[in-house]
Amino acid sequence: MALLELENIHKTYDLGEVQVHALRGVTLSVRKGEYLAIMGTSGSGKSTLMHILGCLDTPTEGRYLLDGKDVSGLGGDDLARIRNDRIGFVFQGFNLLARTSAVENVELPLLYAGVPRKERRQRALEALALVGLSGREHHQPHQLSGGQQQRVAIARSLVNGAPLILADEPTGNLDTRTSEEVMELFSHLNETAGITVILVTHEPEMARYVERIVTIRDGLVVSDEAKARERSFAS
Amino acid sequence: MIAPEEILLTALRALRTNKMRSLLTVLGMIIGVAAVIAMFAVGTGAQVRITERFASMGSNLLVVFPGSSRSGGVRGGGGTLPTLTLEDAEAILRECPAVADVAPRVSGRTQVVYGNANWSTSTVGSTASLLSIRNWTLESGRNFTESDQRSAAKVCILGATVASELFGGEDPLGKIVRVNKIPMTVVGLLAAKGSSAAGSDQDDTVLVPVTTAMKRLFGARFPGKIQDMTIQAKSAAEIAAAESQITDLLARRHRIRPGEENDFTVRNLSEIMEAAQEGARIMSLLLAAVASVSLLVGGIGIMNIMLVSVTERTREIGIRAAVGARGADILLQFLAEALLLSLAGGILGICTGAGGAFLISHFADWPAVIAPESVALAFGFSAAIGVFFGFYPAWKASRLNPIEALRYE
Ligand SMILES: Nc1ncnc2c1ncn2[C@@H]1O[C@H](COP(=O)(O)OP(=O)(O)OP(=O)(O)O)[C@@H](O)[C@H]1O
Ligand SMILES: [Mg+2]
């Protein structure tokens, strides 16, 4: 069964005099447990697509079915709820709260889910352990390396048990070595926890981890090919 | 839905990360609330003092003095000739059923001498009734008697200030003092009473029988006339009746023709007190109104800081929204911050205001009364200010689109 289905998604930014057609009819279906990369040149609409997938933005036109439910017409509060418990989002720039410890950053989604304090702390610590950050729980973002910060962000994206993690150029700010670690972490989550991972990347190197590559150009899907995983977390 | 204590904790953390700014914002509120509290305290103190002093003058009192009320009714003033007589006073007591007691009065400045000590004071000629009407008690000795009045006896009762000025520690009873050179025996001592509603020392006085005052001390100018009289009605309910009975009786006795102006005025002391209290109340409202302006400024300070804060923390808002905060969660968080600022300002302001009021009352010898309702009002008002001035910035924050908020640099 498809975890998510996009049907003819359009996104148009109205800038008054000009209209920017960022997406012009994207149709895409992703099954549970897939590990998929979206590639394309700069300005092709990858981030726009990810924002719609992540319920951070709504399409101008088209249908978006998440778990078989149409979410394209939902209001802000319903979208917030979906972001909270169905989707984990990882950004290129980490987007951690400054002057806030790693564990408190990871707790944030649980706070808005209404999870009691004690349980919150415990689940956040578990998530941090899962991404290999035990012992760094009380470090603040500025006390962590880029790779470590991205791991905190990944811990935050999975702490709520979301079945879907979206990552927009998660390795864009990291060096090759750290990038590989992050990619392996995604592989690990995908293979052991069955989490569906969709990520945007520019680097063919990183695409070696995934099993499917969707290429978009000028707001349209121009190729969608399955491939074998060349690397995984174990190798 | 996120729990209230979590909202408060989050708000507290945010305020802590910007300590200096939070402090200065709170300071604005403190000044506003403190000013209002202190002004109210001083104003209420004034009202209380007025009430106290009028109460110390006696209850259910009316004052009759010469001159028509329409011509201003200036009390015993230069332009008004005395028209009241001792017989008027006796007639009022005899013929007005609502009247309980009457104390006529003739007074003037006198020089009182005992041995080498010499004191200038006001001497009041009246009857034994004066003491009960004015709530005056004797520390020692006796009141005037009927025979004192009949014979215009050379006796006097000393106020506490006069007694201590002339006698120091000595017992004045039975001693002879010279009042305007006339030797008089001290038969009584008044208990100390403090200052009057007008602020003068009520204990700085010498009492003599009214007949003595008229014949021996001040009678030369207006023979047979008294200055004014203080009348006590039988009860608060009978004050109005007493007023009209006195007016009718005196008009008859003074042969005032219908349509003609009375040559006397009857005033109700509680009216005078109410007027004075009203004055004090208006004064304190005025002061508080001026002080509220600073409260308003404090509120605008909160709004200003919250707006800056929302702009500065746009990215934080985006992050919170991205992980699932709803508009209401964001709104409540910023509202809680504004509320915490204003309530902290309110509480500290109440303390500061109370301290200020205490200092004023201490150094200016002015009673300051912190009414519980003014504290409750200040508290409620600062909470309202927090909500009112915090709402717009919080609402602005809650309306941010997560993507745009995240993109904000
Ligand atoms: N808020 C916006 N307002 C107007 N135009 C926008 C907005 N966001 C994106 N666009 C436009 O939409 C198109 C797609 O942008 P998008 O960010 O999705 O590209 P991208 O594929 O993620 O590029 P990159 O690889 O550089 O991140 C671009 O032409 C961009 O200018
Ligand atoms: Mg992009």
Tell me if A44 CB under 6 Å of ligand 1. yes
Q: A122-131, B72-81, B112-121: lowest mean pLDDT where?
A: B72-81
pLDDT of B78: 44
Q: Is the pLDDT at B72 greater than 60, yes or no?
A: no
Q: Is A95 on the interface with B (CB under 8 A)?
A: yes
pLDDT of B174: 92
* Tokens at A35, concatenated: 């590990």
What is the number of the ligand 1 atom nearest to the C-alpha of A46? 21
**Mean pLDDT, chain B, integer:** 86
pLDDT category at A10 given cuts 50, 70, 90 is: very high
Chain B residues touching A86 at Cβ < 8 A: none
Mutation choice for B interface testing from A56, A92, A96, A158 by most B CBs within 10 A:
A56
The C-alpha atoms of residue A60 and residue A24 are separated, in whole angstroms, by 10
Does A95 sit within 8 Å of B326, measured CB to CB?
Answer: no
pLDDT category at B154 given cuts 50, 70, 90 is: very high
B206 or B271, greater pLDDT: B206
Chain A residues touching B319 at Cβ < 8 A: 95-97, 108
pLDDT of B247: 92
Quick one: how far is CA A94 from the chain centroid?
A: 11
**Beta partners for residue A132, in sequence order:** none
**Closest residue by CA, ligand 1 atom 1:** A13
| Mutation to probe ligand 1, out of A23, A42, A48 (largest number of atoms < 8 A from CB) | A48
For residue B320, give the chain A residue with the closest CA: A108
pLDDT of B74: 45
Mutation choice for B interface testing from A77, A112, A140 by most B CBs within 10 A:
A112
* Tokens at A44, concatenated: 């092709």
Sorted by where each starts, the structural domains of chain A and their CATH numbers stand as 2-226 (3.40.50.300)
Burial status of residue A53 (CB atoms within 10 A of its CB: 0-12, 13-18, 19 or more): buried
Q: What's the gap in Å between the CA of A176 and the closest CA on chain B?
A: 25
Q: Is B321 on the interface with A (CB under 8 A)?
A: yes
State the average pLDDT over residues B49-65.
Answer: 80
Element (H, E) at A17: none
Burial status of residue B172 (CB atoms within 10 A of its CB: 0-12, 13-18, 19 or more): buried
pLDDT digits (tens, 9 = 90+) for A210-227: 999 999 999 999 999 988
Ligand 2 centroid – CA B190 distance (Å): 96
pLDDT of B69: 61
Does B402 sit within 8 Å of A56, measured CB to CB?
Answer: yes
pLDDT category at A156 given cuts 50, 70, 90 is: very high
For residue B400, give the chain A residue with the closest CA: A76
Does A91 sit within 8 Å of B406, measured CB to CB?
Answer: yes
* Tokens at B175, concatenated: 């001693």
DSSP state letter for A202: S
Q: A61-70, B157-166, B235-244, B277-286: lowest mean pLDDT where?
A: B277-286
State the average pLDDT over residues B147-161.
Answer: 92
pLDDT of B75: 45
pLDDT digits (tens, 9 = 90+) for B339-361: 998 899 999 999 999 898 888 88
CA distances from A46 to A22, A51, A201, A219, B326 (A): 9, 9, 9, 8, 25
pLDDT digits (tens, 9 = 90+) for A157-213: 999 999 999 999 998 888 888 898 889 999 999 999 899 999 999 888 888 889 999
Chain B residues touching A112 at Cβ < 8 A: 2, 320, 323-326, 329
Tell me if A46 CB under 6 Å of ligand 1. yes
Ligand 2 centroid – CA A178 distance (Å): 20
Specify the pairing of strand B225-226 against strand B176-179: unpaired
At residue A205, the 3 state secondary structure works out as: helix
Does B3 sit within 8 Å of A114, measured CB to CB?
Answer: yes
Q: Is A123 on the interface with B (CB under 8 A)?
A: no
The interface predicted TM-score of the complex, written ipTM, equals 0.94
Q: Is the pLDDT at B73 greater than 50, yes or no?
A: no
pTM exceeding the 0.90 threshold for the entire prediction:
no
pLDDT category at B92 given cuts 50, 70, 90 is: very high
pLDDT of B48: 81
**Mean pLDDT, chain A, integer:** 91
Q: Is the pLDDT at B1 greater than 70, yes or no?
A: no
pLDDT digits (tens, 9 = 90+) for A89-104: 999 999 999 889 999 9
Tell me if A19 CB under 6 Å of ligand 1. no
pLDDT of A110: 94
Ligand 2 centroid – CA B403 distance (Å): 12
pLDDT digits (tens, 9 = 90+) for A31-61: 999 999 999 999 999 999 999 999 999 999 9
Report the percent of chain A where pLDDT is more than 90.
72
Q: Is the pLDDT at B211 greater than 80, yes or no?
A: yes
Closest CA to B162 of B197, B198, B186, B126: B186
Tell me if A194 CB under 6 Å of ligand 1. no
